[in-house]
C-alpha cells in the first residue's frame, strides 16, 4: 500500500536536543534517545499503526462554552503488533497536553516521558510517548484550544435559540484538533465517552446513547460499539430538541427548526429501508440527523448514527433531499468500508454518489435521478475544464498537500459515473450483487484503490471478461478526466431539453416568461434554467423574470444561489440586495465561495464583498473563512486586501 513516490516528512525529535517546543514532566522512564518520526503509510498522519494501534478510546470531557474549550482526558487502549516497539506517536494539533500516564495491568498509573515534534502546519505536531513493555493503555490529560480548527463555537447571538452552540468537523484530518489519536482513516477503533455541558444545553455525538431529552445534570454518556476511523468522530452541544421521524430515525435541532426539519425529513425511515434492500443491513442501530446552524460549512457530514445536515436543504417541499440520501448512503460506503488514505477518497465518495442516486431513483423515479445526474455531469465538465491536469484523476497523489485538496467533484461525481459505467457494462443485477458482496467482504475495514482494483478484477471482471477489461478500468482510475468510454453513460434529460426550448422561446421574444410551462418544473429544472442563463441575460431580462416568478424572494437555497450568481453578473439590484443577509446567515461553502469569487471579479463589488466578509467572519467556520479569503484574494491573518 505504501506509495513509493510519497515524499517523507522527516522530523527530528527534540528528545535529548536543545530547542524543544514543549516538554512533559520529568520522565520516570527514559524515552529512546534521538529518533525520527515520519508521516507513515498515510502521508497525512504520523501514526505508526503497523507497530502499535489504537483499538478503543475512552473520552471524558468537560465543555466550557464561554472559554470555548473541551477539557478532560482520553484513555487509549492499544494493540501492539510489535510488542518491543517502545513509542506511541499520536497526531495532535493545537492541543494543550497536561499529563500522560501509562496505565499498568494492575490499574496503577505510571508517568511516562513524552515530547512534541515540530509543528507541521495543517498536519499539526506529532506527540511521541514512551511506551514501556507490557503497557496497553495510556491516559492523556489535555484541553483543546479555543481556536481548534475542528470545532466551531457559536455564541448566543449567532444561533436561532439564543444559546451557544458547538460542533465538530473532523474530516479529513481535524479530529487531532480535539482528541489526541492516530488520525488516519486506516485505523479504526471503538469508543465510549462522557461529556459534561451546562444543564440548559444538550450534548450529542456520532454514537449510540444520544438522549432524546435534556437531563438535569448536563452529563451525557455515549458508546460506539462499531469500530470507526477518527474522521467520523463527532460531537455537538446546543439547545437541542429531538423529533421522531420513524422507528429508527429522527431529527435533532434547535427548537425553532425541529418541527420543520422533522416534517422535511419524514422520508428518512423509507430511505433507510431502500438502502438495506439494495446493499444489505444497516449495521449502526439508529440513524438520526442533526440540523446544524446555517454556518455549517458543508451540505452534510456522514457522522455515523448522527449525520450533520445544513438547514439550507430544508425547502418545505422535500425537493433537496438528495443530500440526505447521500449522507445515509455513507453508512455503507465510507463508514462501513473506508478509504485507507485521502488519495483514495473516491472509494468513499464515488460509491456514495452512485448509492445516493439509487436511493433517489427508488424514491422519486428515474426521471428525477436523471435530472440530478445531468446537473452533476455538467458541473463535472466545468470542474474538469478549470482544474489542473494532475487533479483530474480518481486516484490522486496527495503527498505533501493538504488533504482538503482532495475534495473536488472528481472523486464524487466522476467516481459516481465510474460506478454507473460498471453497472452499464455488466447490468444492474450483477453490479448490485457485486456491491452487496463488496460491503460484506470489507465491512468495518479501510482499503486503498489497489485493493479495490484487485477485488474488482477477481469478482467482476473475471465473471464478465467479455464486458470489462482492466485497461479500461485503469483509464478511469489513473488517467485524468473522463475516458472516452464514458460517452455511453452521458445523462440525457428530455425534461432539461424542454427547459432549454422554453428559455430559447423567451429569449427570442417568442413567449413571455409567464407563458412558459414552469408550473410543472422540478427544482432541478429551475436550476438548469438558471444555469443556462450564465452570460446570456442582462439586468432587464432579470427584471422580467423576477416580476414573473419572484425569484428575488426565493426560499429554496439552490435556486436562490443561482439567482444571486446571475444577479452579480448582471448587477441586478433586487437580487444584490439579498446578498448581504444571505452571506451573513449562510456559511455553506458551496454557496459562499462562488458568491465571493463572483463579487471579487467585478469592479464594483470587491470592496463591498470584503466589508460583508468582515461582518460575516465571526459566524463562519474556519473552513469557510479559509475558502472565502481565498475567493476574495485577501490575507488570511489580517483579512486585509
Would you name the residues annotated as active-site residues? 327, 412
The mark string for 300-339 relative to Zn ion (x by CB under 5 A, - otherwise) is ----------------------------------------
| Shortest spacing between CB 335 and Zn ion, in angstroms | 10
191, 55 Cβ separation under 8 angstroms: no
| Shortest spacing between CB 224 and Zn ion, in angstroms | 20
When the beta carbons of 177 and 352 are compared against Zn ion, the nearer one is 352
253, 213 Cβ separation under 8 angstroms: no
Choose one: 4-12, 106-114, 156-164, 352-360; the region binding Zn ion (CB under 5 A).
352-360
When the beta carbons of 112 and 406 are compared against Zn ion, the nearer one is 406
Choose one: 175-183, 263-271, 348-356, 364-372; the region binding Zn ion (CB under 5 A).
348-356
How far apart CA 72 and CA 94 sit, in angstroms, is: 15
| Shortest spacing between CB 215 and Zn ion, in angstroms | 33
How far apart CA 246 and CA 270 sit, in angstroms, is: 9
| Shortest spacing between CB 352 and Zn ion, in angstroms | 5
Q: What is the dihedral of CA 327, 332, 337, 341, to 10 degrees?
A: -10
- Across 199-245, the runs of DSSP E, i.e. the strands, are 202-205, 219-229, 235-238, 241-244
184, 199 Cβ separation under 8 angstroms: no
- The residue count of the chain comes to 641
When the beta carbons of 86 and 352 are compared against Zn ion, the nearer one is 352
How far apart CA 183 and CA 176 sit, in angstroms, is: 6
| Shortest spacing between CB 134 and Zn ion, in angstroms | 41
How far apart CA 102 and CA 83 sit, in angstroms, is: 15
208 DSSP assignment: B
When the beta carbons of 59 and 232 are compared against Zn ion, the nearer one is 232
Choose one: 1-9, 165-173, 346-354, 430-438; the region binding Zn ion (CB under 5 A).
346-354
* DSSP string computed for 285-304: S-EEEEEPPTT-SSSEE--T
413 DSSP assignment: I
When the beta carbons of 59 and 337 are compared against Zn ion, the nearer one is 337
Quick one: CA dihedral 587, 589, 591, 593, positive or negative? positive
Residues in contact with Zn ion, counted by CB under 5 A, come to a total of: 2
When the beta carbons of 182 and 333 are compared against Zn ion, the nearer one is 333
| Shortest spacing between CB 613 and Zn ion, in angstroms | 27
When the beta carbons of 288 and 349 are compared against Zn ion, the nearer one is 349
Q: What is the enclosing helix (H) or strand (E) of 89?
A: strand 87-92
How far apart CA 141 and CA 98 sit, in angstroms, is: 5
* DSSP string computed for 423-475: HHHH-HHHHHHHHHHHHHHTTTEEE-HHHHHHHHIIIIITT-TTT--HHHHHH
Grid cell in block for residue 131: 511506551
| Shortest spacing between CB 302 and Zn ion, in angstroms | 6
Choose one: 103-111, 349-357, 559-567, 603-611; the region binding Zn ion (CB under 5 A).
349-357
269 DSSP assignment: H
Task: List residues binding Zn ion (CB under 5 A).
Answer: 349, 352
Amino acid at each position: 500500500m505504501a506509495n513509493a513516490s510519497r515524499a517523507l516528512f522527516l522530523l527530528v525529535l527534540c528528545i535529548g536536543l536543545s530547542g524543544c517546543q514543549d516538554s512533559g514532566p520529568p520522565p520516570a522512564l527514559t524515552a529512546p534517545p534521538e529518533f525520527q518520526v515520519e508521516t507513515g503509510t498515510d502521508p497525512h498522519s504520523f501514526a505508526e499503526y503497523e507497530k502499535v494501534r489504537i483499538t478503543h478510546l475512552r473520552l471524558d470531557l468537560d465543555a466550557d462554552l464561554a472559554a470555548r474549550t473541551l477539557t478532560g482526558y482520553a484513555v487509549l487502549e492499544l494493540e501492539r503488533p510489535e510488542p518491543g516497539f517502545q513509542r506511541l506517536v499520536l497526531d495532535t494539533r493545537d492541543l494543550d497536553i497536561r499529563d500522560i500516564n501509562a496505565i499498568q495491568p494492575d490499574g496503577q498509573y505510571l508517568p511516562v516521558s513524552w515530547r512534541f515534534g515540530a509543528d507541521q502546519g495543517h498536519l499539526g505536531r506529532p506527540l511521541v510517548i514512551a511506551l514501556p513493555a507490557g503497557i496497553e493503555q495510556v491516559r492523556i490529560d489535555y484541553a483543546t484550544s479555543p481556536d481548534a480548527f475542528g470545532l466551531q463555537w457559536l455564541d448566543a447571538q449567532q444561533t436561532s435559540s439564543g444559546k451557544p452552540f458547538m460542533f465538530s468537523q473532523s474530516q479529513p484530518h481535524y479530529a487531532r484538533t480535539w482528541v489526541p489519536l492516530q488520525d488516519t482513516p486506516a485505523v479504526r477503533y471503538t469508543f465510549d465517552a462522557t461529556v459534561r455541558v451546562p444543564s440548559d444545553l444538550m450534548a450529542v455525538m456520532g454514537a449510540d446513547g444520544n438522549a432524546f431529552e435534556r437531563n438535569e445534570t448536563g452529563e451525557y454518556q455515549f458508546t460506539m460499539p462499531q469500530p470507526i476511523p477518527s474522521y467520523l468522530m463527532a460531537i455537538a452541544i446546543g439547545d437541542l430538541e429531538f423529533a421522531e421521524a420513524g422507528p429508527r430515525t429522527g431529527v435533532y435541532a434547535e427548537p425553532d427548526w425541529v418541527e420543520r426539519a422533522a416534517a422535511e425529513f419524514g422520508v428518512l425511515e423509507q430511505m433507510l429501508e431502500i438502502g438495506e434492500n439494495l446493499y444489505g443491513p444497516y449495521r449502526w442501530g439508529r440513524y438520526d440527523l442533526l440540523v446544524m446552524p446555517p454556518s455549517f460549512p458543508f451540505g452534510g457530514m456522514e457522522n455515523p448514527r448522527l449525520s450533520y445536515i445544513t438547514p439550507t436543504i430544508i425547502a418545505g417541499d422535500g425537493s433537496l433531499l438528495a443530500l440526505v440520501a447521500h449522507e445515509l448512503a455513507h453508512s455503507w460506503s465510507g463508514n462501513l468500508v473506508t478509504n485507507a488514505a485521502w488519495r483514495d477518497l473516491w472509494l468513499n465518495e464515488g460509491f456514495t454518489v452512485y448509492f445516493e442516486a439509487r436511493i433517489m431513483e427508488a424514491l422519486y423515479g428515474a426521471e428525477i435521478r436523471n435530472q440530478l445526474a445531468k446537473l452533476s455531469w455538467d458541473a463535472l465538465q466545468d470542474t474538469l475544464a478549470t482544474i489542473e491536469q494532475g487533479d483530474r484523476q480518481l486516484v490522486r497523489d496527495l503527498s505533501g498537500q493538504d488533504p482538503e485538496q482532495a475534495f473536488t467533484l472528481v472523486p464524487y461525481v466522476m467516481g459516481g459515473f465510474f460506478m454507473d459505467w460498471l453497472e452499464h457494462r455488466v447490468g444492474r443485477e450483477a453490479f448490485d450483487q457485486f456491491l452487496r458482496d463488496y460491503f460484506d467482504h470489507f465491512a468495518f475495514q479501510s482499503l486503498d484503490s489497489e485493493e479495490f482494483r484487485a477485488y474488482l478484477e477477481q469478482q467482476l471482471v473475471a465473471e464478465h471478461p467479455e464486458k470489462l477489461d482492466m485497461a479500461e478500468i485503469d483509464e478511469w482510475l489513473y488517467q485524468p478526466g473522463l475516458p472516452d468510454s464514458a460517452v455511453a453513460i452521458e445523462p440525457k434529460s428530455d425534461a432539461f431539453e424542454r427547459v432549454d426550448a422554453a428559455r430559447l422561446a423567451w429569449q427570442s421574444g417568442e413567449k413571455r416568461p409567464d407563458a412558459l410551462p414552469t408550473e410543472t418544473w422540478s427544482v432541478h429544472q429551475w436550476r438548469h434554467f438558471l444555469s443556462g442563463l450564465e452570460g446570456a441575460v442582462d439586468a432587464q431580462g432579470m427584471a422580467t423574470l423576477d416580476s414573473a416568478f419572484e425569484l428575488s424572494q426565493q426560499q429554496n437555497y439552490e435556486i436562490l444561489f443561482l439567482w444571486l450568481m446571475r444577479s452579480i453578473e448582471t448587477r441586478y439590484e433586487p437580487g444584490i440586495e439579498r446578498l448581504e443577509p444571505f452571506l451573513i446567515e449562510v456559511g455553506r461553502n458551496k454557496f459562499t465561495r462562488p458568491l465571493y469569487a463572483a463579487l471579487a471579479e467585478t469592479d464594483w463589488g470587491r470592496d463591498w464583498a470584503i466589508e460583508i466578509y468582515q461582518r460575516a467572519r465571526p459566524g463562519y467556520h474556519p473552513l469557510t473563512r479559509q475558502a472565502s479569503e481565498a475567493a476574495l484574494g485577501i490575507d488570511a491573518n489580517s483579512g486585509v486586501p
